[in-house]
Amino acid sequence: GEVAAFPTETVYGLGADAANSDAVLKIYETKGRPRFNPLIVHCADLGMAETLAVFRPLARRLAERFWPGPLTLVLPRKDGARVCDIVTAGLDTVGLRVPGHPVARELIRAAGLPLAAPSANPSGRLSPTTAGQVRRAFGDRVPVLDGGPCAAGLESTILAVNGDDVVQLRAGALSRDEIEAFLERPVAVASADSPVSAPGMLASHYAPKAKLRLNAVEPEAGESYLAFGPGPVSATGRSLNLSQAGDLREAARNLFAMLHALDRDEGTIAVAPIPEEGLGEAINDRLRRAAAPKK
């Protein structure tokens, strides 16, 4: 009946019993999240997930290959699934994932219940990749299980699977390349006007308080700089490097933590160009939303 924050391999989640509508309402209230935006339900294993959704063969193959791990499957909700309607925001589908983090899995097993959990940040803000960031956001309103920094640092990749159709609703910690290599075919990417989409994929999201200037080869006077790859960084203002080695996995892991760290003041964070390949797709997606004008 209460909420608690817990680590996953992607980002920290704010969890509650997915069947308890009072507890799930506390998640929406704590985050200030719009009610139309459904939550991902976290399961201990495929068996638990199968009590909630219909797994046709393709969905099952993806689950067996990539779970536990940073993949969310949006699947047809099963009749009688033990999930309250606000979790799915009234949709006839449900987003499911089996996280790989040992603390998350032990928590779900100990509870013996599927846990609804969005990222543990105020709605629209940067996702937390450490327990400290969750505590700074919510203070003592939310107990936090501290599992150290998240290994992936970006949210899960979301695929909607309907029979043999697969659409990527959100780029994330599992790169599309890896999914396509496994399926041996291309995976479509949802756009703003696609028939299926993730209601939470708003233009402005994952936003720091500071402004962002993207594809900045170097910072201008007074700007902080988020660099990528080798090379000297100018001494104007504060600067951090996502990955000196130009490694996209390392950059993904550092992205939110470094944006949090540079987000002390008003002002502008200039961000170096990131190649649009592998995990770069998800990194650039988050950066574009973080840079979009806030309403």
Distance spanning both ends of the chain, measured CA to CA: 33
In this chain, which of 3, 5, 62, 74 binds ligand TXA, going by CB under 6 A? 74
Show contacts with ligand TXA in window 121-150 (CB under 6 A). none
In this chain, which of 16, 52, 83, 158 binds ligand TXA, going by CB under 6 A? 158
d(CA 30, CA 255): 24
User: What b/e string do you get for 73-105 counting C-beta neighbours within 10 Å, with b at 16 or more?
Assistant: bbbbbeeebebbebbbeebebbbbbbbbbeebb
Pick 216 or 252: Cβ nearer Mg ion: 252
3-state secondary structure of 269: strand
Residue 118 interacts with ligand TXA (CB under 6 A): yes or no? yes
Backbone angles phi, psi at 76, to 5 degrees: -60, 130
Name the binder of 262 from ligand TXA, Mg ion, none, CB < 5-8 A by kind: none
Show contacts with ligand TXA in window 170-209 (CB under 6 A). 198-201
Which residues, in sequence order, are bridge partners of residue 182?
Answer: none
Show contacts with Mg ion in window 111-130 (CB under 5 A). 119
Pick 144 or 216: Cβ nearer ligand TXA: 144
Binding segment for ligand TXA among 32-40, 52-60, 232-240, 251-259 (CB under 6 A)? 32-40
d(CA 67, CA 98): 6
Pick 25 or 233: Cβ nearer Mg ion: 25
Which residues, in sequence order, are bridge partners of residue 75?
Answer: 94
Strands 165-170 and 188-189: parallel
State the alpha helices, DSSP H only, in 11-92.
21-31, 46-50, 57-66
Q: How far is CA 70 from CA 79, 99, 100, 157, 251, in A?
A: 26, 7, 7, 6, 16
Residue with the CB atom nearest ligand TXA in the bound state: 200
User: What is the smallest separation between the CB atom of 164 and ligand TXA, expressed in angstroms?
Assistant: 18
Show contacts with ligand TXA in window 52-71 (CB under 6 A). none
In this chain, which of 5, 13, 135, 210 binds ligand TXA, going by CB under 6 A? 13
Contacts with Mg ion by CB under 5 A lie at 119
Q: Which residues bind ligand TXA (CB under 6 A)?
A: 8, 10-11, 13, 37-40, 72, 74, 88, 91, 93-95, 97, 117-119, 155-156, 158, 169, 198-201
